[in-house]
Amino acid sequence: MVMIGRLLGNRYEILEQLGGGGMALVYKAKDTFLNRLVTIKILRHEYVSDTDFIRRFRREAQAVASLSHPNIVNIHDVGQEDDTHYLVMEYIDGDNLKNFIRSNPNLSQEKIVNIVRQICDALQHAHENNIVHRDVKPHNILITGDQRVKLTDFGIALEASTGTITSTETIVGSVHYISPEQAKGITPGPQSDIYSLGVVLYEMLTGQLPFKGDGPVAVALKHVQEQPKLPSEINPEISKDLERVVMKAMEKDPQNRYQTAEQFSRDLLQAVQGTEGDREPGDDFATQVLPGSVPLKEDEKNDERKEKRRPKAVKAVVIASLLILSLLAGAALAVYNFINVPEVTVPDVEGLVAEDAKTILNKAGFKASMERVHSNEVAEGRVISQNPEPDKKAKQGRTVELTVSLGPELKTLPDVRNHMLSDAKIMLHNAGFDYEHIEEVFDESKEAGIVIDQYPAPGKYPQGTAVNLTVSKGPELQNYTMPNVIGLFEDEGRKQLSDLNLIVKPSRYQWSEKYLAGQIMGQDPQPGAEITAESSVSLVVSRGPGPPKRSSDVTTEIPDDGKEHLLKIYISDIRGEDLVYKSKHAPGEVVVKRIEYYGAAAVKVYIDDKLELEESL
């Protein structure tokens, strides 16, 4: 659908396309009532019949409408015109932070902190109004030439009091900036936005993302499991104070992160302004020097006290000496007994039932202790290992430490059927299982990527059990011959292709003197090519001006036979063939009809459905 030049709501004139995401296209427009520029987000045409997308689209309007902050893009209006759903937002003359980072790789730490603190202010306001953004990333942060920051795209924002995300266990958010709890499918809170903003700060300081992988699932798992490199290892110029702030914002456990964006902002400010020494605030355990006692100066009293204490001191020395001699004698006896205990070979009890192993060790003169652990290799109740090892020499009476199997640790295998494969992999990993084999099959009732079946079925199994998954490839695709849509107007051509389950890419527009504005002048694949359903089709559409309009008189003489006759005139031009005249006439009447056409044309005249004339104009 051509949007440039269109007037929405009898008010907003579309000027140019600024960009777009998976759900909507973004345009620059003019508010003709208030004579100001605005940004308009329009839901993609393929989603207008999807109630879930429309619900998410409207949720953005509801979420941001409740917010009013200088660092959040304001929403001015929301509307619907036929199948077009749109949001009217404040126009920001600038670029997104992702492009800003690329074009400004050597920003000072002070400027970076200034930008991030503005985002903190925006998030603090949203969180105070129970709105969690859930998709904080540089692409959703706009920045003007004077480095004024605006947070936008609350398209997947969620009220902090709701829990709808856990009912579907769907991961929402951009995977390189996703929080660990979002990767696990847990309802995100304000600390999730703080984690994502920590990743943005990490990227601004180092020029790198903290985690990369072969695919979205691999990156999501790294957010859950791995620690990123310290920023100073990548950029030694980063101060330790600022590094501590980044790493605290990116803690895996939400409870260990900043609990509010305001706290995050305050620590950022302190980090760039400097702190007093390296001691943490509130450190009450720093080394302190305490005053010593003052010696007495009364010599007479000291001498008298020494005299009184002397007999008692002598008695104490004698008692202590006797105790030491007793201890030495006991120790000597113990050493003698230990040295003279015979050494014997430790029996091999590995693999035996624990009680049998204990009996064998006792008969050989040893004691036995047991530690029980889970094992996937050794059966429950049997000895996994022993210390000292089998066949080693040890003194009788020594305790042999036995490690005894509790059998495999049983975990609950989740039901991943009817989930997207990417979600299913994370669910299995989080539960302690691996996926071993994935079979893809056609399925008329399941969209591509949905898990149809799993083996084993949900239940209790040893940790690490491999799971086989059967995944839908969607309905089996039908083969088609590519139709010819050249010459059709864009809307008609798109509908014809969509009815064949073909995916029509955004059109390209070119000037043409042969085709009228809005007519399809080129297509790929070409007409007659063999294609399958869901194949992609590219269209080239004319911007005009097209061929000039022409006119010609067509003269027809009605037979003079005393009968009334039906006259039809058809014209064929660049628009196709069209019936331009149809009427009954009296016998002998001469009919002159002016015909309008574009470019080369041909005319056909029928009397009573019999071709009487065919000529080129």
Catalytic residues: 135
Q: Is the CA virtual torsion 262, 267, 268, 274 positive or negative?
A: positive
CB 578 within 8 A of CB 596: no
**By C-alpha distance, which of 184, 175, 172, 214 is closest to 430?**
184
Contacts of 392 (CB under 8 A, 6+ apart): 345, 346
Token pair for 412: 């609950």
**By C-alpha distance, which of 564, 617, 567, 563 is closest to 595?**
617
Q: Residue 399, SS3?
A: strand
> What are the distances in angstroms from CA 396 to CA 227, 346, 385, 393?
48, 9, 19, 9
> What are the distances in angstroms from CA 298 to CA 304, 307, 434?
10, 15, 82
Q: Are strands 466-472 and 451-455 parallel, antiparallel or unpaired?
A: antiparallel
Token pair for 20: 């777009």
CB 171 within 8 A of CB 182: yes
Helix/strand/coil (H/E/C) assignment for every residue in 487-540:
CCEHHHHHHHHHCCCCEECCCEEEEECCCCCCEEEEEECCCCCEEECCCEEEEE
Q: Residue 206, SS3?
A: helix
CB burial string 211-236: b at 16+ within 10 A, e below: beeeebbebbbbbbeeebeebbeeee
> Which run of H or of E encompasses 217?
helix 216-225
First to last CA, the chain: 33
Whole-angstrom Cα distance, residue 406 to residue 467? 23
